[in-house]
Structure formats: structure tokens, C-alpha cells
């Protein structure tokens, strides 16, 4: 009985969704380009966030090394901690800049996509 219900529901859902797909219009080139830019921006932003997290961890590690060097009176260890901390700060700064660029790309993709939608609507109106 359950098999029959599952089979019937699959058939009915396929029939219900088929007319929606039949009337779907092809996206314009501007929409496709906008979507592509938006996806690329999202991926880049995600990667930048991961780099930023690594930079923060590196900065914390550097602070810990530096503190340990101070406690033990080891100047070389203290200097190493300072270098690691600087590397972490630089990584965070670079990741933030990369994230800002990705956000800009994403916004440009949205604008392009909106232009494509307007183009499609104007084309439909002209018909």
C-alpha cells in the first residue's frame, strides 16, 4: 500500500511540475553573466573568510609565543612571536581586502542580473 502511494505521489508531482518547466523562459546573457559573477563572488568571499580565520589563529599563536618568550626571558623566542603575529595581521588584512573585492563582484553580478531581467520584460512587453 505504501509503495502504491509513493509511486502515485511521484507520478502526480512530476505531472504537476511539468507545465511550470514548459513555460519557463531562457535566461538572457546578462542574467547568466550576473549569476556567474555572483557565484564567483560568493566563492571568493567564502575563501577570504577562511583565510581571515587562519590569519587570526596565526596572530593568536604569535602572541602566545611572544608571551612565552617574555616569561622565559628568551629574546629570540620573543622576536619569533612578533614575526608570527605580524604575519597573522598581514594575512587578516589581505583577506579583508579580498573579501571586499568579492563583495563588489557580487554586487556587480546583481546589477547585471537585474539589467537582464529588465531586458527580458521589455522584450515581452514589445511582443
Tell whether 54 is covered by a domain: yes
> Given a cut of 60, is residue 20 above it in pLDDT?
no
| Residue 123: φ, ψ to 5° | -65, -40
Tell whether 10 is covered by a domain: no
Residue 17 has what pLDDT? 63
> Given a cut of 80, is residue 104 above it in pLDDT?
yes
Look up the domain containing 85 and give its range. 31-109
Tell whether 11 is covered by a domain: no
**1: pLDDT confidence band, cut at 50, 70 and 90?**
low
Tell whether 9 is covered by a domain: no
Nearest Cα residue to 89 out of 66, 55, 119:
55
- Tally helices (H) and strands (E) across the chain: 3, 0
The cell numbers describing 20, all together, are 511550470
| Residue 27: φ, ψ to 5° | -70, 145
Tell whether 81 is covered by a domain: yes
Q: How many domains does the chain have?
A: 1
Tell whether 92 is covered by a domain: yes
Amino acid at each position: 500500500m505504501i509503495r502504491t502511494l509513493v509511486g502515485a505521489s511521484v507520478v502526480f508531482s512530476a505531472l504537476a511540475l511539468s507545465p511550470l518547466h514548459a513555460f519557463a523562459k531562457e535566461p538572457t546573457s546578462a542574467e547568466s553573466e550576473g549569476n556567474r559573477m555572483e557565484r564567483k563572488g560568493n566563492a571568493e568571499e567564502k575563501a577570504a573568510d577562511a583565510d581571515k580565520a587562519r590569519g587570526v589563529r596565526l596572530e593568536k599563536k604569535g602572541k602566545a609565543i611572544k608571551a612565552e618568550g617574555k616569561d622565559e626571558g628568551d629574546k629570540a623566542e620573543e622576536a619569533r612571536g612578533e614575526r608570527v603575529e605580524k604575519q597573522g595581521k598581514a594575512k587578516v588584512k589581505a583577506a579583508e581586502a579580498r573579501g571586499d573585492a568579492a563583495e563588489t563582484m557580487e554586487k556587480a553580478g546583481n546589477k547585471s542580473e537585474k539589467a537582464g531581467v529588465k531586458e527580458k520584460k521589455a522584450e515581452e512587453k514589445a511582443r
